[in-house]
Chain A
Amino acid sequence: MRALSTAATGMAAQELNVETISNNIANMNTIGFKRQVAEFQDLLYQNVERMGSQTSDAGTVVPTGIQVGSGVKTGSIYSVREQGSLTQTGNQLDLAVNGRGLFEILLPDGETAYTRAGNFSVDNTGTICTSDGYAVQPKTTIPENATQVTISSTGQVQATIPGQTAPQVVGQLQLATFFNEAGLEATGGNLLLQSNASGAPVVGKPGDPGYGTIQQGYTEASNVDAVTEITNLITAQRAYEMNSKVVTAADQMLSTTTQMKS
């Protein structure tokens, strides 16, 4: 009886759905986190009676045929690249991107990672870096005696030095855009890597056409919506239960069969 394994695929799919939802809820307060959605597709079909097959010498054919499906599979876990709301923090190195684009981060192994989490700090050399100490590209160093750092909406970094009236330009931030941002590979630590699916990064200045602007003193909250996740969770749980009912029904039918008198 195929129903047993079909229902099992349904239960496995809903289990993955719940796992994805729980990851979203766990990251509800993660800066720059993008919620993920598990997407399903139907599995292969078995042609018990192929449609269009001839049923008589007179040329009559089966009009609809019998195709029996074998369940469901996970097509992809898709990350929804919707803008998260901006939260004011007052920290002068908290940067949020309003619109498209990701910050470029240089990993210790020389690879470039991308992130929407702009809660930056400075390291012991004055370089702007992530909370893990990875430098933000292009490398920007804040002078040690700077009293204030101002980052404009177009990404220009200016430092106010005591004794100088005009602030000094110390760097220019860049943003990378990908055509298929959802195709970026997540590596944890709020970082994403370029993949075959994402395409190559297109680097530009914040505020240019097609790029978002930088908001200093803000961080981008995760775009997880608690109400949506909880409703999805309920739906997933109910779907899981329904599939388990199919297992029970199939089991009951099989047990009826084995108890038949011979």
Chain B
Amino acid sequence: MDNTLYVGLSRQLTLQRALDITANNLANVDTVGFKVEALTLQADPLKPASVSSTDPITYVIDNGVARNFGQGGVEQTSNPLDVAIEGEGFFTVQTPDGNRYTRDGRFGINTQNQLVDRQGNLVLSAGGSAITLDPQKTDLAIAKDGTISQNGQTVARLGVARFADLSVLTKQGSNLYDAPGVTPSAATNVHVSQGAVERSNVQPIAEMTNLIAITRAYDQVTQMVSQTQDLSDSAVQRLGKAA
């Protein structure tokens, strides 16, 4: 009988974690380049607890966090240094800890006239080097394939990395992804838009319904646990009377 409590507990733990992830999705509803996440669960069948029973006890455990890399909405900002990727691929930035990847294309210029992200990390070109711009030339254009040109002269091409398996990516915070031990290939069919940013792909309505589902499921499990307790109580009382 006690198994009911433990099965209930396993569900409550996964629900709490699911709520944490939904909370993070909703907190990042306005974060450029953010990709929505969901907790995936799996059944965890164990041997029956008592000798008389043959049915296995099935707990639920969290299996992983699935990330939806679907395209977020592209919003026009008319800032020449805002770049959005439409379709697959990541910008590559150089951090003190190595190369990191991001969908956040809000770039700026540092004091050495190099193209940097909002943290000041260098944005790398297709050849893997820093991109230096000429401050005297004002007309900056970024073509669909990522080619940066100033006053009609080509400066560099933005590096867009592609991962065959997106599940190798881990989130680092600050809109950056790490790919430990994996070298990405260069994306071939690059489509970038200048003067636009990619919004978060969180769908608020979906997250709100998740939120309701999580709280209701939690209530139900709690209800089940307390009913089991009642059952246990009354069993003890009745058996006690008979004796």
Contacts of A243 in B (CB 8 A): 23, 26-27
- Taking CB as reference atom, which chain A residue is nearest B111? A199
Contacts of A165 in B (CB 8 A): none
Contact B19 A253 (CB under 8 A): yes
Contact A75 B118 (CB under 8 A): yes
Contact B133 A179 (CB under 8 A): yes
Contacts of B26 in A (CB 8 A): 7, 10, 239, 242-243, 245-246
Beyond A71-B24, A242-B26, whether A210 also contacts B137 by CB under 8 A is: yes
Which of B17, B31, B208 is close to A72, meaning CB atoms less than 8 Å apart? B31
Which of A41, A250, A259 is close to B118, meaning CB atoms less than 8 Å apart? A41
Contacts of A7 in B (CB 8 A): 23, 26-27
| One of B86-94, B156-164, B165-173, B185-193 contacting the partner | B165-173
| Shortest distance from the beta carbon of A208 to any chain B beta carbon, whole Å | 10
Contacts of B63 in A (CB 8 A): 64
Contact B27 A41 (CB under 8 A): no
Is the CB of A126 closer than 8 A to any CB of chain B?
no
Is the CB of B174 closer than 8 A to any CB of chain A?
yes
Contact A40 B106 (CB under 8 A): no
- Taking CB as reference atom, which chain A residue is nearest B171? A45
Q: Which residues of B line the A interface, CB within 8 A?
A: 12, 15-17, 19-24, 26-32, 34, 37, 39-40, 62-67, 77-79, 104, 106, 108-111, 113, 118-119, 133, 135-138, 167-168, 170-175, 180-181, 204, 207-208, 211-212, 214-215, 218-219, 222, 225-226, 229-230
Interface residues of A in 151-207 (CB under 8 A from B): 177, 179-180, 182-183, 196-197, 199, 202
| Shortest distance from the beta carbon of B98 to any chain A beta carbon, whole Å | 16
Contact B175 A6 (CB under 8 A): no
Q: How far is the CA of A243 from the CA of B180 in the complex (A)?
A: 32
The secondary-structure label for the interface of chain A is mixed
Is the CB of A146 closer than 8 A to any CB of chain B?
no
Contacts of B106 in A (CB 8 A): 39, 78
Beyond A69-B24, A70-B24, whether A3 also contacts B180 by CB under 8 A is: no
Is the CB of A47 closer than 8 A to any CB of chain B?
yes
Contacts of B212 in A (CB 8 A): 249
Contacts of A9 in B (CB 8 A): 27
Q: How far is the CA of A43 from the CA of B182 in the complex (A)?
A: 23
Contacts of B104 in A (CB 8 A): 41
Question: Closest 4 CB pairs between A and B?
Answer: A10-B27, A64-B64, A69-B24, A179-B135
- Taking CB as reference atom, which chain A residue is nearest B19? A3
Beyond A66-B65, A245-B211, whether A82 also contacts B30 by CB under 8 A is: no
**Sample of 19 further A-B pairs with CB below 8 A, known A179-B113, A256-B222, A260-B225:** A3-B19, A4-B23, A6-B20, A39-B106, A41-B174, A44-B173, A45-B172, A64-B66, A65-B170, A67-B65, A72-B28, A82-B79, A179-B109, A179-B133, A180-B108, A242-B208, A243-B23, A246-B19, A246-B23
Contact A52 B27 (CB under 8 A): no
- Taking CB as reference atom, which chain B residue is nearest A52? B180
Q: How far is the CA of A78 from the CA of B79 in the complex (A)?
A: 11
Which residue, of A75, A78, A202, A209, has the highest number of chain B Cβ atoms within 10 A?
Answer: A75
Beyond A3-B23, A75-B174, whether A253 also contacts B218 by CB under 8 A is: yes
Contacts of B15 in A (CB 8 A): 253
Binary interface encoding of chain A residues 235-262 relative to chain B, with 1 for a CB under 8 A from any of its CBs, else 0: 1101100110110011011001101110
Contacts of A252 in B (CB 8 A): 215
Is the CB of A226 closer than 8 A to any CB of chain B?
no
Which of B39, B137, B222 is close to A260, meaning CB atoms less than 8 Å apart? B222
Is the CB of A230 closer than 8 A to any CB of chain B?
no
Q: How far is the CA of A210 from the CA of B136 in the complex (A)?
A: 7
Is the CB of A100 closer than 8 A to any CB of chain B?
yes
- Taking CB as reference atom, which chain B residue is nearest A43? B173
Contact B225 A41 (CB under 8 A): no
Beyond A64-B65, A67-B170, whether A3 also contacts B109 by CB under 8 A is: no
Is the CB of A234 closer than 8 A to any CB of chain B?
no
Is the CB of A91 closer than 8 A to any CB of chain B?
no
- Taking CB as reference atom, which chain A residue is nearest B109? A180
- Taking CB as reference atom, which chain A residue is nearest B12? A257
Contacts of B173 in A (CB 8 A): 41-45, 69
Is the CB of A76 closer than 8 A to any CB of chain B?
yes
Which of B64, B78, B109, B175 is close to A63, meaning CB atoms less than 8 Å apart? B64
